[in-house]
């Protein structure tokens, strides 16, 4: 990425050789942020050749900006909504892999729930604060610390905002509890259309002002995380996220992973119009919530349809899919260069259609057959997933060697390009940090080796 130095070296090389033609320009291969210009005519003499080379180099030098660390970035890599090079991560593997605009030198990796309960430093910090998980989310300093913990420990290629899928529900005055051992609970769920209209704000109030009023602490957390990353010299993308509308509705009407699993579908069948109205409003706030995360510093976005297993395919297509389509259209319309990833957990039947809606990356869970995963998305998107987190638990008989082997199998099955290595389910708390680290390192080393070998063949 040291473009100016490379450009200067290329210019010296050209002056010494007097035979440095545009077709042999090697600067871009030395640095991925430098590209050739094809609009200039070929030179006829060595003097003209030297001048042409100078013009090519200088045309790019003029486009190059430098961040505070002196790392030069070609402006074509900066997102359209933010041309400040200081805001662009030095390690942009995740962004490049997600957008699929060029090949990467190694496969990037991050992990669902990489922050939190499997880390001893998280448990110690949580005990020190004396706050519960949900309580910590209201304190930006806690959110920043918990976000930073895994990126200090592991060589992951992205950080993800430490938060919860139901912060939107809480912003809508729906109480959420996590008593432990029984999953997420909503003590006073919506009981019907009349209750919904009485308790929830109207759609016209679900705007940017609402998000900044009710979820301003999240935006403060995003800004604080970015500040902390800069201070610690960790220059990787920050992922913002939200639950998708169906998942929000499921919990808001009393559903749970442990009990009342049927209630979401019952709501759709008993109150179809109210369900559409609720999901339409939720779609609006999800869009604005995710947009504000970008405006406050998030580089990438992940949408979680976490309760996909609680809805049947016909109802998913009728109620959930239109919301997911609208979210993709709106966010990619506003932020075309911000990677947008979606995870329809437990509803892999939706992946093919989701790949047609504008998302950059489709996340696959553990149920997806790796041998057909690429065919399903048809080259329209990249893939993310689907390593089994049970492979990271020592009590399951797993070791560093078994992790290396299964990581290699993931890469061999899904390929190294347009892939973000991740899990099929989030880390549950029993995983060994040593094995998690081995997984991260194995993905990097094995993918580098595979990519290098493919180029030499």
The per-residue b/e assignment along 270-289, b for 16 or more CB within 10 angstroms, e otherwise, is ebeebbebbbebbbbbbbbb
| Span 144-182, pLDDT tens digits | 999 999 999 999 999 999 999 999 999 999 999 988 767
DSSP state of 43: P
| Span 70-99, pLDDT tens digits | 556 667 778 988 889 989 999 999 999 999
Residue 80 CB neighbour total at 10 angstroms: 10
Task: Identify the residue with better confidence: 25 or 274.
Answer: 274
Residue 430: strand, helix, or coil = coil
pLDDT category of residue 47 using cuts at 50, 70 and 90: low
% of the chain with per-residue pLDDT over 70:
83
Average pLDDT, the chain: 88
Burial of 162 (C-beta count, 10 Å sphere; 0-12/13-18/19+) = buried
| Span 397-407, pLDDT tens digits | 999 999 999 99
CA 107 to chain centre: 14
Q: Which of 11-15, 136-140, 326-330 has the lowest mean pLDDT?
A: 11-15
pLDDT category of residue 456 using cuts at 50, 70 and 90: confident
55 pLDDT higher than 60: no
Cα separations in angstroms, 93 against 1, 109, 157, 340, 374: 13, 9, 7, 15, 20
Distance CA 279, CA 255 (A): 15
Helix or strand holding residue 431 (H, E)? none
The stretch 287-299 carries a mean pLDDT of 98
Distance CA 447, CA 442 (A): 8
44 pLDDT higher than 80: no
Q: Which of 45-49, 134-138, 211-215, 328-332 has the lowest mean pLDDT?
A: 45-49
Query: What angle, 0 to 180 degrees and rounded to 10, lies between the N-to-C axes of helices 216-231 and 140-153?
Result: 40
Cα separations in angstroms, 347 against 227, 247, 308, 320, 406: 37, 12, 5, 11, 24
DSSP string covering 362-374: EEE-TTS-HHHHH
> Where do we find the tokens 């020592």?
394
Q: Which of 48-57, 144-153, 254-263, 411-420 has the lowest mean pLDDT?
A: 48-57
Distance CA 250, CA 237 (A): 30
The stretch 216-229 carries a mean pLDDT of 98
The pLDDT score that the predictor gives to residue 90 is: 96
- Report whether 55 contacts 40 (CB < 8 A): yes
23 pLDDT higher than 80: no
The stretches of 175-320 forming alpha helices (DSSP H) are 193-199, 208-214, 216-231, 245-252, 263-270, 272-295, 313-315
14 pLDDT higher than 50: no
Distance CA 225, CA 26 (A): 38
Distance CA 254, CA 64 (A): 53
């Amino acid at each position: 990425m040291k473009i100016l130095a490379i450009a200067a070296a290329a210019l010296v090389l050209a002056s010494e050789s007097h035979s440095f033609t545009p077709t042999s320009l090697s600067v871009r291969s030395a640095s991925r942020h430098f590209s050739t210009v094809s609009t200039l005519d070929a030179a006829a003499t060595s003097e003209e050749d030297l001048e042409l080379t100078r013009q090519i180099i200088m045309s790019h030098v003029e486009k190059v900006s430098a961040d505070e660390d002196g790392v030069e970035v070609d402006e074509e890599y900066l997102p359209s909504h933010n041309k400040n090079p200081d805001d662009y991560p030095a390690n942009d593997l995740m962004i490049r892999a997600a957008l699929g605009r060029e090949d990467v030198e190694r496969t990037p990796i991050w992990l669902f729930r990489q922050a939190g309960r499997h880390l001893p430093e998280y448990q110690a910090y949580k005990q020190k604060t004396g706050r519960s998980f949900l309580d910590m989310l209201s304190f930006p300093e806690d959110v920043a610390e918990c976000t930073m913990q895994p990126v200090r420990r592991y060589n992951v290629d992205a950080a993800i905002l430490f938060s919860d899928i139901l912060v939107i529900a809480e912003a809508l005055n729906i109480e959420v509890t996590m008593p432990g051992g029984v999953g997420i609970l909503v003590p006073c769920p919506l009981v019907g259309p009349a209750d919904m209209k009485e308790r929830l704000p109207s759609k016209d109030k679900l705007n940017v002002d609402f998000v900044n009023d009710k979820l301003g602490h999240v935006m403060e957390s995003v800004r604080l995380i970015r500040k902390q990353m800069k201070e610690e010299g960790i220059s990787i993308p920050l992922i913002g996220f939200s639950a998708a509308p169906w998942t929000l509705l499921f919990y808001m009407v009393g559903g749970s992973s442990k009990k009342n699993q049927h209630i979401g579908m019952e709501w759709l069948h008993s109150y179809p119009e109210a369900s559409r109205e609720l999901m339409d409003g939720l779609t609006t706030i999800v869009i604005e919530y995710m947009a504000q995360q970008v405006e406050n510093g998030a580089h990438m976005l992940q949408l979680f349809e976490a309760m996909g297993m609680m809805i049947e395919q016909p109802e998913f297509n009728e109620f959930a899919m239109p919301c997911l389509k609208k979210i993709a259209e709106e966010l990619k319309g506003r932020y075309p260069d911000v990677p947008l990833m979606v995870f329809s957990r437990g509803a892999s039947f939706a992946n093919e259609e989701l790949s047609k809606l504008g998302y950059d990356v489709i996340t696959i869970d553990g149920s997806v057959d790796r041998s057909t995963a690429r065919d399903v998305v048809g080259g329209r998107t990249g893939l993310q997933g689907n390593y089994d987190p049970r492979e990271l638990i020592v009590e399951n008989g797993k070791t560093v060697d078994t992790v290396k082997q299964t990581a290699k199998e993931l890469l061999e099955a899904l390929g190294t390009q347009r892939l973000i290595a991740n899990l099929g389910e989030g880390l549950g708390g029993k995983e060994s940090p040593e094995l998690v680290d081995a997984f991260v390192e194995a993905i990097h080393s094995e993918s580098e080796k595979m990519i290098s070998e493919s180029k030499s063949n």
